[in-house]
Structure 1
Amino acid sequence: MSTEVGSPVAGLTTPLSDVPDPVFSQAMVGPGLAVKPTGGESDVVAPAAGQVVTLHPHAFVIAASTGGAVLVHLGIDTVKLKGEGFTLHVAKGDAVEAGQKMITWNPTEVESQGYSSTCPVIALEAAPESLTDLREDAQVLAGDPLFVLDA
């Protein structure tokens, strides 16, 4: 089964190798893409339909209903913000639809506090060759396709 993984935020897609954190840039947790958000306060949307299996203010994992799991991390080292500036709209265990509002945040505010706002979107425990149709170096809107995961 294949899962189309959408962008959780609007911005410019970049390869994971450009993410300023080796856990992501070296694909230690899995392959994917990153999105450098544009603009101020905005909603983060679910990249795929499924169930919220992990939820923190700065990150979440969705077990896709069509197979595989997708991690979205809002910025780098943003765990240090202790949830400040993030508003959750879902709870762990919720079923979500692709494009559903998950979290509201402000990437500009994150940057002003000295953190990168780049958002890695990772296919957890997936082989790099299981990702196809990667949209690198593209402007995307929240919900636009980033890649297809063959689970």
Structure 2
Amino acid sequence: MTSPHEDVVTAVPATRLVLSAPLDGVVHAIEDVPDHVFSAGIAGPGVAIEPDRPTHGPALAHAPVAGRLVTLFAHAFAVEPSPGTTVLVHLGIDTVRLAGEGFALYAAEGEQVAQGDPVIGWDPDGVEARGLGVLCPVVALQAEPGSVELLVEPGRQVTAGTPLLAWTPPTAA
């Protein structure tokens, strides 16, 4: 005898992640990032933010989503809100060359972060003075095509915490 529920397939609603702007600045299309890995979408879909320059103290990069800080470098970090979903924030282009100079960590790799928690402080003016780009890609790593929706059009000013992207990752069966 079979269970009356054996042939019933229950649809699991997709979880929609809303990623917030990690810093204050102007939104740019990911295609405008002067790094092929980002501009061609190889890392995944997203946007970039040209950071505002603070009048005092460092510019702060905040967690765009709650989750585990799975990767942390002085110039970049990745947050995993759930298994199989990772969001990358990269502060500037080629900033790995600075070997951490001009960056300050406010969190630790492996730590749970809340959306909006400060993760890295940095000096965009100092980065630019060294001839490096300051556009900051915000990427849904390896997201499926069409699964990320832009919530803020390029050219718009945002503040940290502004809803920026909505990501609907595939659900586990």
Which category describes the TM-score, using the shorter chain as reference length? Answer: over 0.9
Q: What residue in structure 2 maps to residue 88 of structure 1?
A: 105
Percent identity over the alignment is 45
CA pair 58-38 structure 1, distance change in 2 beyond 3 A: same
Q: What residue in structure 1 maps to residue 41 of structure 2?
A: 27
Q: What residue in structure 2 maps to residue 11 of structure 1?
A: 25
Shift of 1:134: 3.1
* Long gaps (5+) in structure 2: 1-14
Letter in 1 for 2:90: H
Tell me the number of residue pairs that the alignment of Structure 1 and Structure 2 aligns: 151
> Is residue 100 of structure 1 aligned with residue 117 of structure 2?
yes
1:3, 1:67 within 8 Å by CA — same for their partners in 2?
no
> Is residue 125 of structure 1 aligned with residue 142 of structure 2?
yes
Aligned-residue RMSD, C-alpha: 1.3
- The one-character-per-residue Cα deviations of 1:75-121 (angstroms, maximum 9, x if unpaired) are 00000000000000111100000000101111111111100010000
SS at match of 1:128: coil
Letter in 2 for 1:96: V
Higher relative contact order (CA 8 A, sep 6+): 1
Structure whose CA Rg is larger: 2
Letter in 1 for 2:160: A
* Long gaps (5+) in structure 1: none
TM-score by length of 2: 0.84
1:72, 1:121 within 8 Å by CA — same for their partners in 2?
yes
Residue 56 (structure 1) aligned to one of 73, 79, 91? 73
Shift of 1:66: 8.5
Q: Comparing 71-80 with 39-48, which one deviates more in the overlay? A: 39-48
Q: What residue in structure 1 maps to residue 165 of structure 2?
A: 147
> Is residue 39 of structure 1 aligned with residue 53 of structure 2?
yes
* Structure 1 runs (4+) greater than 2 angstroms displaced: none
Letter in 2 for 1:19: V
Shift of 1:67: 6.3
- The one-character-per-residue Cα deviations of 1:20-65 (angstroms, maximum 9, x if unpaired) are 0101000111000000111132111000000000110000110014
- The structure richer in strand per residue is 1
